[in-house]
Amino acid sequence: MKATRRTLIAATLLAPAVARAQAWAPTRPTRFVVPFPAGGATDVVARVLAERLQDSFGQPVVVENRTGAGGNIGVENVVRSAPDGSTILMGTTGTLTVNPHLYSNLGFDPLRDLAPISMAFTTDHVLVVNPAVQAQTAQEFLALVRAQPGRLSYGSAGAGSSTHTVPELFKLAAGVQITHVPYRGSAPALNDLVAGNVQMMLDQIPSAIGQIQGGRVRALAVTGARRSALLPNVPTMAEIGLADAQATSWGAVMAPAGTPAPAIARFNAAIRDALAQQPVKDRLAAAGAEGVASTPEELATYLRAESAKWARVVREARITVN
């Protein structure tokens, strides 16, 4: 009887939200803006979700790549769009919670000018070193760095990228000095790591996994809360004693601020349904991403925490962009 009563109460509380979501439906195509070029994990996840949203809504959902300025151009396009449910954004760690602390002239605030819909995916980073580095474990690497402050270097995809901010978080957590060498993208940085021109990277796992499996770089630690299924023998940052270095790159679906609550609820329900489907999970895994849904409220709380975290990293590491 108690279980039945709890079920009835839960259903009663959930009914208004379900009704709101069912009451709204798009009457024209939806633009799904991705602030990065086609082909990356962010774009792949958006296209997979777009297909499912289109099936759910019975209206076209068109992915639109608007690139430039570290993703700011695409984000601003959504911020300036009508809040009527016809435009959504695939935001990321950098565009939503790092860039506001890097660019003083944005002219908009993602947390104020965008409405959270749902988390979409996460990807972790992995600490990789050139095989010539005399360290078989993360602890040995830390000892080596501490014995030679500033002599070892790491490559990144450029100032302000996740492959720059995540290593800076690592440096702060470990209290070590490693020299930053920026490149025009993760691929050339990883190539120089393989060549031995830099000694380490904290690259996203999907980008680095091929070089790890080929033995051209050595994986020492991952940044997620748990070990990666792709690298089950590689410890987490918490396991090596650096819990404060935990970091995850992620994507989240947002809408212009002021988008009606029924539209937000309908998008959220459709995204949650899509991410629960095994074919979707498999396609995201093939891109190196893990589908993760949330409520709008959970996402709002997470965004505030991530913004505070990366504000500290940008400030304490004195990260600037050209």
Whether residue 162 is predicted with pLDDT greater than 70 in this model: the reply is: yes
pLDDT per residue as tens digits for the range 64-117: 999 888 899 999 999 999 999 999 999 999 999 999 999 988 999 999 999 999
Asked if residues 259 and 114 have their Cβ atoms less than 8 Å apart, the reply is no
Whether residue 145 is predicted with pLDDT greater than 60 in this model: the reply is: yes
pLDDT per residue as tens digits for the range 223-236: 999 999 889 999 99
Q: How confident is the model at residue 2 (pLDDT cuts 50, 70, 90)?
A: very low
The mean per-residue pLDDT over the stretch 14-40 comes to 76
* C-alpha dist (Å) from residue 87 to 60, 182, 264: 12, 34, 11
3-state helix, strand, coil in the chain (%, to 5): 50, 20, 35
The mean per-residue pLDDT over the stretch 196-220 comes to 94
The mean per-residue pLDDT over the stretch 145-154 comes to 95
Whether residue 11 is predicted with pLDDT greater than 70 in this model: the reply is: no
What does the pLDDT read at residue 151?
95
Element (H, E) at 171: helix 162-174
- Judged by average pLDDT, the poorest of 116-125, 156-165, 244-253, 267-276 is 156-165
Q: Which residue has the higher pLDDT, 303 or 40?
A: 303
Whether residue 4 is predicted with pLDDT greater than 70 in this model: the reply is: no
Asked if residues 267 and 53 have their Cβ atoms less than 8 Å apart, the reply is yes
Query: How many degrees, rounded to 5, is the angle at CA 111 between CA 262 and CA 184?
Result: 120
What's the CA gap between 163 and 156, in Å, rounded? 5
What's the CA gap between 6 and 211, in Å, rounded? 52
Q: How confident is the model at residue 161 (pLDDT cuts 50, 70, 90)?
A: confident
C-alpha 115: how far from chain center? 17
Asked if residues 171 and 312 have their Cβ atoms less than 8 Å apart, the reply is no
What does the pLDDT read at residue 132?
96
Between the two ends of the chain, the Cα-to-Cα distance in Å is 65
Would you kindly state where each structural domain of the chain is located, as residue ranges? Answer: 28-123+250-314, 124-245
**DSSP letter assigned to residue 247:** -
What does the pLDDT read at residue 3?
47
Q: What percent of the chain lies above the pLDDT cut of 90?
A: 77
Task: Return the CATH fold of 28-123+250-314.
Answer: D-Maltodextrin-Binding Protein; domain 2 (3.40.190)
What does the pLDDT read at residue 187?
86
Indicate if 124-245 has the same CATH topology as 28-123+250-314: yes
CATH architecture of the region 124-245:
3-Layer(aba) Sandwich (3.40)
